Chain A
Amino acid sequence: MDDERELAQRCLAGDADAVRAFVDRFHALIFSLCLRMLGHRHDAEDATQDVFVRAFRHLDHWDATRPLRPWLLTIAANRCRTRLAKRTKTPVAMEHTQEIAGKNTERSQDLAEELQRGLAELRDDYRLCFLLFYEQQLSVQEVAATLDCPEGTVKTWLYRARKFLAEFLRQRGVVTPDGYELHTP
């Protein structure tokens, strides 16, 4: 925590090494969240940049007694939600699924690719909740704090997301690693 506090102070002072260290430490996870949430690489790059700029502008308001990562993820979640809300007015094609899954859309057996396809179909708030818990590995309490909602809501959203994704995988005819094929009813 002291390390993060010192890093933040150096960033505020305009220390180039600290800024680079800050970016190196958090860039991948923020970009990953944005890309998986927005499904569009350029959008994700813009959102990531937006997150860092906003974080730097408000770094002096960061509570140094708490870790930086959930704070940054909260900013990222809000930026993603804002962009998704704007997107409902001007829809953007989801291309991230193809980026991760490749061009083969014919019932890929790659579990990760299929899961990403399922996530793209998921409701925005369920997807964000799922990403924060399963990808960023925040606790239920931290997800609740990040999304500013009760823990019970987070559990419900996670359950519904899992149920939807399991159903999606089953309908896609995905098989488990041990070769068990799930048959579409």
Chain B
Amino acid sequence: MDMNCTRLETWLADQLDPQRDELPSEWTQHIAECGSCAQCWQDERLLAAAVVAWRTKSPCPPATDALVTLLLQEATARAGAMNVPTKRRARSRWWSLVASAAVVMIGISVARSLSPGDDFVESEQLAFTSTMGSLLHRLDEARFDVLTAGPSGLPIIPGLSAGSTRSTDFTAGEIIDPAASSGVLRYGQPLGDGVGHAFRFLQIAVPVPTTDAG
């Protein structure tokens, strides 16, 4: 097998059209000289002729009435099935909307019941005075006369009205040594019930010009 044989075989492999009947002139000489390639070419011609003949001989299909009936049933069932899910989808969409609304309503009511109400805020307001840092911040924002009024001014400082028990468990003007307090109040430490104690600490730690009061 020489180079021409390989090239002819490659060329034949690429020729998919069964109508081909003529060999290009470039191969004619080689076919005349090479018996093997001549045989390949004859095989190709035979196969091409067979394919053409075979194509024209289609098998006779069966009657289609039964198939059409079956497909109509299928189409009808499908159309029905398509309608049912549509209704179901619409219904389920409605119910999911109602359920979502109910969940939202329940969530709001639960949140309200758990969150501090007006009464709670008035009596505790722990959220605003829960740390030493927030206490300092509130004091910084408070009016000067409130600060000088001492513990009696506590209820009118926004966020420091911690209730009577907390604001009255000490006496205004009482000097307390911070070092003698029960514990060191750190900036981020929760105050809890120690609002009054913290205020006393501030009175000692932060010099307030009480002379300007009033």
Which residues of A come within 8 Å of B, CB atoms? Answer: 11-14, 16, 19-20, 22-24, 27-28, 31-32, 35-36, 45, 48-49, 52-53, 56-57, 96, 99-100, 110-116, 133-135, 140, 155, 158-159, 162, 165-167, 169-170, 174-177, 180, 182
Which residues in A have their C-beta under 8 angstroms from that of B14?
A: 155
Chain B residues with CB under 8 Å of A112's CB are 50, 53-54, 56-57
Known interface pairs A100-B57, A111-B49; A57-B74 also in contact (CB < 8 Å): yes
Minimum Cβ distance to chain A for residue B52 (Å): 8
CB distance from B195 to the nearest CB of A (A): 70
- Interchain CB contact under 8 A, A28 and B78: no
Report B-chain residues with C-beta under 8 Å of the C-beta of A155: 13-14, 16
User: In the complex, which residues of chain B have a beta carbon less than 8 angstroms from the beta carbon of A134?
Assistant: 18, 51, 54-55
Q: Is residue B32 within 8 Å, beta carbon to beta carbon, of the partner chain?
A: no
Q: Write the nearest CB–CB distance from A18 to chain B, whole angstroms.
A: 9
- B22-63 contacts to A, CB under 8 A, are 39, 42-47, 49-51, 53-59, 61-62
CB <8 Å contact, B54 and A116: yes
Q: How far is the CA of A174 from the CA of B58 in the complex (A)?
A: 20
Q: How far is the CA of A14 from the CA of B54 in the complex (A)?
A: 37
Q: Are B49 and A27 in contact (CB under 8 A)?
A: no
Besides A12-B79, A133-B16, A162-B47, 6 other A-B contacts (C-beta < 8 A): A28-B61, A32-B59, A48-B67, A111-B46, A111-B53, A112-B53
- B68 contacts A by Cβ under 8 Å: yes
Residues on A with beta carbons closer than 8 Å to the beta carbon of B55: 134-135
Q: Does chain A have a CB within 8 A of B72?
A: yes
The smallest beta-carbon distance between A16 and chain B, in angstroms, is 6
Are B53 and A27 closer than 8 Å at their CB atoms?
A: no
A-B pairs with the 3 shortest C-beta distances? A166-B43, A111-B50, A112-B54
Considering the chains assembled together, what is the distance between the CA atoms of A19 and B75 in angstroms? 9
